[in-house]
Amino acid sequence: MTTTAHNTRTFTALTDAQIEAAQAIVDAHNAKVNPTGEPWCVNGRPGYYIIDLTGRKHCYYTLYRFNNLAIRHDKAYQYICNLSLDLMEAVNKVCTRRGLPVMLDTGSGNFRPEHIEALVFHIGRYKGQPISDVYAENPGYVVWAANNMTAKNKNQQMTIEALRHMRDAHFQMVTEENKATCTSTYQGLLKERSTRQLTVYAVKQPVVDPVYGTISKKRYRAQDAQGNLYQFYTNDDLVVDQAYSVTGTVRNHKEYLGKQYTCLNRVKTVAA
């Protein structure tokens, strides 16, 4: 645990054990005031409290309320009061097992994405639905939302941060699964040119700029009979699931999400 002085204030970095202890109090409070586990911002529910680390020196634990029933959207997020410089004291002041559920955010470095049941999509096809439920149904949408959605207020920003944590955790999970199951290994030496029999399994269309037109080639991913994976760019119109004789130079070896790809350039293709 480290301590940093800020003039007359002192900010103490928290250990994982301290954060988990505070989160346990929050979870017990939430289970008492919301025993059915219903999302906090749907079906006429009034919202929730947020304990956030704020202040010019980033040392105050502060209480806010997100009021889902506010008439004006810009008034939905309300400052209540400063709680304490100590996390446990702040949590115990709010988590009395009465009132509204509580969301705890101790700073981006300590944010716990597993405690995100309160956060819902504020726009889009899943508007009003908890992001954890959407992830279980459609993880690809969560990844897209994390990369593309923007926030207009602090509540939405918390949702975006949670989406990004879920995206990163998703990619980490996929990477670990691929490392355990994928048999692909790097093929050939760098700058080595040779011909291989490959079957295309995926294609990414070129980027098209409205002003400059097409600014990239199609990206193909293919594999050989042993399951080794390859990636290359070409203007040729190749067909997915079709086999080709591919002549190319090994440009580099790269790992994507736990899978090893041999990347080719100066590619020429002939249908097998």
pLDDT tens-digit series, residues 63-122? 888 776 655 555 667 778 888 888 899 999 999 988 888 888 765 444 444 455 557 787
Whole-angstrom Cα distance, residue 61 to residue 102? Answer: 13
Least confident of 77-91, 192-206, 242-256: 77-91
Which residue type is seen at 139? P
Tokens representing residue 212 in the block: 């400059």
Whole-angstrom Cα distance, residue 55 to residue 64? Answer: 13
Confirm whether pTM is higher than 0.75.
no
Residue 253 lies in a domain: yes
Residues 42, 145 within the same domain: yes
Q: What is the pLDDT of residue 65?
A: 83
pLDDT mean over 239-266: 95
Residue 171 lies in a domain: yes
SS3 2: coil
Q: According to DSSP H, which parts of the chain are helical?
A: 16-33, 87-94, 131-137, 139-148, 154-181
Number of domains in the chain: 2
Q: pLDDT tens digits, residue range 41-76?
A: 666 677 788 888 765 555 678 888 877 665 555 566
Residues 108, 220 within the same domain: no
Residues 121, 230 within the same domain: no
Q: Contact, 196 vs 230, CB < 8 A? A: yes
Strands 47-54 and 9-12, bridge-based pairing = unpaired
Instruction: Enumerate long-range contacts of 147-151, CB under 8 Å, 24 or more apart.
Output: 149/123, 149/124
17 lies in which domain range?
Answer: 3-175
Residue 84 C-alpha from the chain's centroid: 30
Tokens representing residue 52 in the block: 């956030």
Residues 86, 206 within the same domain: no
Residue 164 lies in a domain: yes
Tell the residue number behind the tokens 């999400």, with chain if given.
257
SS3 135: helix
Residue 157 lies in a domain: yes
Q: C-alpha angle 198/200/205, rounded to 5°?
A: 140
Q: Contact, 47 vs 69, CB < 8 A? A: yes
Residues 140, 222 within the same domain: no
Whole-angstrom Cα distance, residue 257 to residue 106? Answer: 30
